[in-house]
Amino acid sequence: MPDPRIDVVVLTMNDRPSEEAAAQETLLAQAGVDVRVCVVGNGCEPQIVPPGALTVSLSKNLGIPGGRNAGAGALGREPDPAEWLFFLDNDASFPRTDVLARLIAEAQKRPRAAYVQPRLTGPDDVTTPRRWVPRLRASRPERPGTITTMTEGVVLVRREAFDAVGGWPAEFFLYHEGLQLAWQCWSAGWNGWYAAGIRMHHPLTSPARHALFHRLAARNRIWVAYRNLPAALIPLYLTAWTTITLTRAVRSGGVSETLRGIREGWTSRHRQDRHPMSWHTVWRLTRVGRPPII
């Protein structure tokens, strides 16, 4: 039986040459899979490209979801696109040579899983910040199970589901695009799986290091709610989220930018493409422990 084929998208701005070279080295070492790679230069010409890989050079920075869509689109236009897509941060790495093969095996056992998420750890293979655990009860990152969101930078996605829901939300530019994609997959009848026994490595960086973090995270959270939730749940979800977010911002900084993002998200919400999930989907999310009000 031939090895399963997988298309891998790597997004770059040529800003992490050593990390990117290491990431690609571990990618090319993956065994038991037939890998095709597309390196997308987000506003640049990619400088580190594996032999035989496709390249896409975007004339400007489209943001992370827009850049990933460009890579997935380029691979999809190739003859016989793979059934599986893998999105790889250019500073993430595979600690073993069987990671992709094991992720596909997990997905094949779960035909309704639109995406399969490995456990993301620091380079020590142990430390998993709470924000990298794609479910509630994040204190036990080693526990696998059904999930309703994802960690976007290292995730396996079924091409059929990705294309059916329109891919990543390019308008978001950065932050919460994984929640949007996951909720759209759930609305379409799919689900997600956290394969906690399969690890990926990533530097232990904070998203707050980006100047746009507080504003875009706040704006996009409102967009996600308005795009996806039934009208009755939007005020419940946003009240809970705003309380938590502003409390954190008061403690650690970013209040003014968070308020700016809330204002921007609220005033622009009607320009979003609204496709509210059914109450049946709300029940499905609630049943697996993540009701869409928190």
* Residue 178 to residue 97: CA distance in whole angstroms: 26
Q: How many CA atoms lie within 13 A of 3 on its CB side?
A: 14
User: pLDDT band at 210, cuts 50/70/90?
Assistant: low
Check: pTM over 0.85? Answer yes or no.
yes
Distance, in Å, from the CA atom of 76 to the CA atom of 145, rounded to the nearest integer, reads 30
List strands edge to edge, sheet with 113-121: 54-57, 34-41, 5-12, 84-88, 154-158, 113-121, 191-201, 145-147
For the chain, the structural domain boundaries read 5-205, 208-287
| CATH superfamily for domain 5-205 | Spore Coat Polysaccharide Biosynthesis Protein SpsA; Chain A (3.90.550.10)
pLDDT surpassing 70 at residue 160: yes
Q: What is the pLDDT of residue 139?
A: 83
Confidence bin at 226 (pLDDT 50/70/90)? very high
Helix orientation angle between 213-228 and 234-252, rounded to the nearest 10 degrees: 170
